[in-house]
Amino acid sequence: MKYTPKLPDDSVNNPGENLLFSALKLMVSLAVIVTAVYVTMLFAVDYTVEHLSPENEKKLMQYASVDFDMNKTVESRYLQQVTEKLARCARLPYQVKTYILEEDGVNAFALPGGKIMVTRGMLNRVKNENELASVIGHELGHFKHRDHLKGLGKSLVLGVLSMLVADNYGTAFTTTLQVTDAKYSQSQELAADLFGIDMMACAYGNVKDAETLFARMDKGDEWKYFLASHPGFHERVEKMRAYIEKKGYRRDGEAIPLKVF
């Protein structure tokens, strides 16, 4: 059979699909895959942590302890009494110690090892023991949900994926991870808010002023929290009020005056 050469078809170097559209479609597909992998790995971390025995949790917490300058902290008998009152309802497998952190910022946070730090700035903001109990109850929620241990696993997963994604696909996919991570962290914060409400209802018999601190801090700038680890105050207040309504908790309790810290 005789070979007869001929010119290639004009469509060889002229793909039918727009190159920009093809690139965009590829990036979206990769973003979906990265997100799915991250969420799956987070689910695996959460599942593992939630099924740890109390004994193994205590062992892990020893290794997870973070360096913290305790010289900046002050012990408070009153703060510890409020914590223990709420902790009896939380039924944690270890004792939680609460300290005053001598900083002006309005903040409170839970540390591995069963320590809660409440800044002086936060204590200057709360108007009664009810609001203080809501703050401490929230932090106890992080211990109850083992968020301190989940955070360690999440940091490891996020670090590995960020390194791989940033090296190979650039900042677009790093941003995808940041958005997913922010939503995950915000869901933990909202869950801790609701747990704090449950602890107030158990310890005090009512949830008076459970959300009023956050309501005062609501500046109507929810957009600033899109990539933040915490949800906006407006969303938190709305979720807390809806939860109180759903559970039928009493709100007509006594506003308990603060004692000396």
Q: Which domain holds residue 113?
A: 30-247
pLDDT digits (tens, 9 = 90+) for 202-229: 999 999 999 999 999 888 766 566 556 7
Q: In terms of residues, how long is the chain?
A: 261
Domain-located, residue 197: yes
> What pTM was computed for the model?
0.76
> Which of 28-32, 46-50, 149-153, 208-212 reaches the highest mean pLDDT?
208-212
Domain-located, residue 24: no
Which residues have CB under 8 Å from 128's CB, separation 6+? 209, 255, 256, 257, 258
Alpha carbon distances (Å) from 57 to 6, 7, 92: 73, 71, 11
Domain-located, residue 15: no
Domain-located, residue 115: yes
pLDDT digits (tens, 9 = 90+) for 128-151: 999 999 999 999 999 999 887 777
Q: How far apart are CA 109 and CA 1, in angstroms?
A: 83
Domain-located, residue 2: no
Domain-located, residue 260: no
The 10 Å Cβ neighbour count of residue 113 is 16
Alpha carbon distances (Å) from 121 to 35, 74, 100, 102: 37, 14, 10, 8
* 214: amino acid identity, one letter: F
Domain-located, residue 22: no
Domain-located, residue 8: no
- Looking at the 3D structure of the chain, how many domains does it have? 1
Q: How far apart are CA 29 and CA 200, in angstroms?
A: 45
